[in-house]
Amino acid sequence: MTNQELYDGIANEGLSLPSTMGIFPSRKDFSFSKSSIEESLKSSQYFELIDFDIIEQDKDENEAIEQEYSIKINYLEEEFIVDLYVVNAKSADFSEFGFGNMISDGEMELALQQDHYLESTMYFGVDALDSFHLQLKVMQAIVENPSVVADFMPYRLLSGKWAKLTAESEIPPAPTYLYTIHGVYDEVDGEKVYWLHTHGLHRCGSVELEMLNIKDGIEQMNSALDMIVNAFIKPDYRTPENVEFNIGYDGLDITFCWKRWEDVVKDYPVTIPGGYNERQPENGNYEPTGVLLAMQEGHTLTPEVYATTIADNPIFFISDQETERMSAMAYQRFDSYKKAFQEHFNAEAEEENYWRFLIKLGFDVDHEMNKEHIWFDVYGINENNEILGVCLNRPYAVEGLNEGDEGLYPQEMITDWLIYSPTTTFTPDNIYIID
């Protein structure tokens, strides 16, 4: 298919790539067999196994695959076909993979000791995040206590402890697990020029997204790209090409659009990272992608025009669905937060030993954002799980609340939380590492 056909297929037919992931056991004597795999899938409380078929192996096609199965699963009233492969672990090369979260040395050692791992491939359904969650659930049902999970789409390794905790939860993980942002730079006339681009969105039915020729505010541009990608994971929030969309507010709207790289790259030097010289099929950068541009008064500009705005901590718009997910995760794991607070909070501690506890609260406002999410420094949690905190942000739409105000707030308002220890930052997502 031509790129034109691929763009049209993505936009009009929901064309996507299959998601491929692998899971490594934590026991050297772990054995994969038809009976054990089938029984594990049948026993799962999270999905219904409808069909289970063994696929005859063609050793000439792929010698690394030793067993192959095709299964049909019902999950959240949607049917999925998942292909499963038992793979010789010695054939895998993960040297180019990064770490998606905290993986202990012990987990890596256990993964490297395995003779085989389980690989799964499936097309995502209506909701990409739910589909990703299902893929984890399927693999963890077979490998109950994994050491490491390999996600081949964003080239990332994930903690087995995280995978188990996530698979056994009713709440999906953060959208950031669906993709990664790669930053590439080169020196041009003594100045660093960056190319930010995503990996993983194609399995969500979206073009990959990128920013070209970025010279200033690289951290701010990465944050903006993160916010945009989080929205593009959901079809309802995915904006067609050349159409303006809004990601936030700071007195004025923060607006972008995207254009096909073919329509944009000609306006940049051919030798920059992500420039035309890298857009040849042999370089692997020829796939459909959308270049993000700032949009102001009908004109497209470099995203760098928003660097100062983003640095000043604007309000980013978060979908109601993501807000609910974050809130549910923060609420579900609040006991771990409270336990850490009771064990480690000391307002009088020296800076090098100080544990800082933050909570984000959602306030109902009469504004298009529906809720305004504001961070608080936490100084107390009572027996009713009410939070004593000091407002850290300048509210835009919450009447009667100012930066520096102290208040007592119910647990139900929590939409996120953070713990800064002297050595580590803990979130609802990675609280599994605190022990």
Q: Is the pLDDT of residue 371 over 80?
A: no
Query: 78 with 154, same domain?
Result: yes
DSSP sequence for 290-340: EEEEEEETTEEE-GGGGHHHHHT--EEP--HHHHHHHHHHHHHTHHHHHHH
**141 plus 276 within the same structural domain:** no
Mean pLDDT to the nearest integer, 249-264 = 93
Could you give the 3-state DSSP secondary structure of residue 102? coil
> Do 89 and 171 sit in the same domain of this protein?
yes
Which residues, including other chains, have CB under 8 Å from residue 284's CB and lie 6 or more apart? none
Q: What is the pLDDT of residue 285?
A: 74
CA distance 418 to 391: 15
**For residue 364, what pLDDT is reported?**
86
Distance of alpha carbon 72 from alpha carbon 195, whole angstroms: 40
The pLDDT value given to residue 286: 82
For residue 114, what is the domain's CATH number? 3.40.1000
- Domain annotation covers residue 5: no
* pLDDT of amino acid 319: 81
pLDDT at 236: 87
57 and 155 inside one domain: yes
pLDDT of 426 > 60? The answer is: yes
Instruction: Assess whether 102 and 199 both reside in one domain.
Output: no
pLDDT at position 59 is: 65
Q: Which residue, 292, 316, 340, sits at the end of a domain?
A: 316
Residue 28 CB contacts under 8 Å (≥ 6 apart), including other chains: 110, 113, 114, 115
* DSSP-based three-state secondary structure for 178: helix
The mean pLDDT value for 24-44 works out to 96
DSSP 113-143: T-SEEEEEEE---S-HHHHHHHHHHHHHHHS
The two tokens of residue 305 are: 């025009």
Please check whether residues 268 and 378 belong to one and the same domain: no
Q: Report the domain count for the chain.
A: 3
User: 252 pLDDT band (50/70/90 cuts)?
Assistant: confident
Scan for tokens 């978060």, then name that residue. Answer: 318
pLDDT in tens, 265-284: 999 999 999 999 888 777 66
Q: For residue 361, how many C-alpha atoms fall within 13 Å in the half-sphere facing its CB?
A: 25
pLDDT at 1: 81
How do residues 91-148 score in pLDDT, each as one tens digit?
888 989 999 999 999 999 999 999 999 999 999 999 999 999 999 999 999 999 999 9
359 and 417 Cβ atoms separated by less than 8 Å: yes
| Long-range pairs for 425-430: beta carbons < 8 A, 24 or more residues apart | 426/340, 428/326, 428/329, 428/330, 428/332, 428/333, 428/337, 429/101, 429/162, 429/173, 429/174, 429/329, 430/101, 430/102, 430/162
Report the distance separating Cα 312 and Cα 50, nearest Å: 52
In this structure, are 75 and 138 located in the same domain? yes
Q: Once rounded to an integer, what is the mean pLDDT over residues 211-218?
A: 95
Range of the domain at 151: 13-176
Inside any domain, residue 7: no
Compare 397 and 325 and report the one with higher pLDDT.
Answer: 325
Q: Do 132 and 100 have their domain in common?
A: yes
What is the model's pLDDT at position 50? 98
Q: Which of 253, 287, 316 is the last residue of a domain?
A: 316
| 140 plus 151 within the same structural domain | yes
Which residues does residue 386 pair with via DSSP β-bridges, in sequence order?
Answer: none
pLDDT band at 395 (very low <50, low <70, confident <90, very high): confident
pLDDT of residue 425: 95
Within a domain: 61: yes
| 83-92, 390-399, 423-432: least confident range | 390-399
Is residue 57 scored above 80 in pLDDT?
Answer: no
DSSP letter for each residue of 353-368? G--EEEEEEEEE-SST
**pLDDT exceeds cutoff 70 at 377:** yes
- Cα(294)–Cα(245) distance, rounded to whole angstroms? 10
1 in a structural domain = no
Mean pLDDT for the chain?
93
Domain co-membership, 293 together with 330: no
Beta bridge partners of 210: 197, 291
> Within 10 Å of residue 131's Cβ, how many Cβ atoms?
23
The pLDDT tens digits for 383-393 are 999 999 999 98
Higher pLDDT, 286 or 94: 94
Helix (H) or strand (E) holding 6: helix 3-13
Confidence tier at 369 by pLDDT (50, 70, 90): low
Query: Does 125 map to a domain?
Result: yes
Does position 251 have pLDDT exceeding 90, yes or no? no
Integer Cα distance of 237 and 231 in angstroms: 5
Reported pTM: 0.90
Q: Is pLDDT of 368 > 60? A: no
193 and 62: one domain? no
| Least confident span in 54-63, 339-348, 352-361 | 54-63
Mean pLDDT score, 54-60: 79
For residue 188, tell me if it sits in a domain: yes
Q: Which of 136, 151, 176 is the last residue of a domain?
A: 176
Report yes or no on 2 lying in a domain: no
Residue 269 φ/ψ, nearest 5 degrees? -55, 140
Residue 60 has pLDDT above 70, yes or no: no
Q: Is residue 334 part of a domain?
A: yes
User: Among residues 6, 233, 231, 24, which one has the least CA distance to residue 132?
Assistant: 233
Whether 252 and 300 share a structural domain:
yes
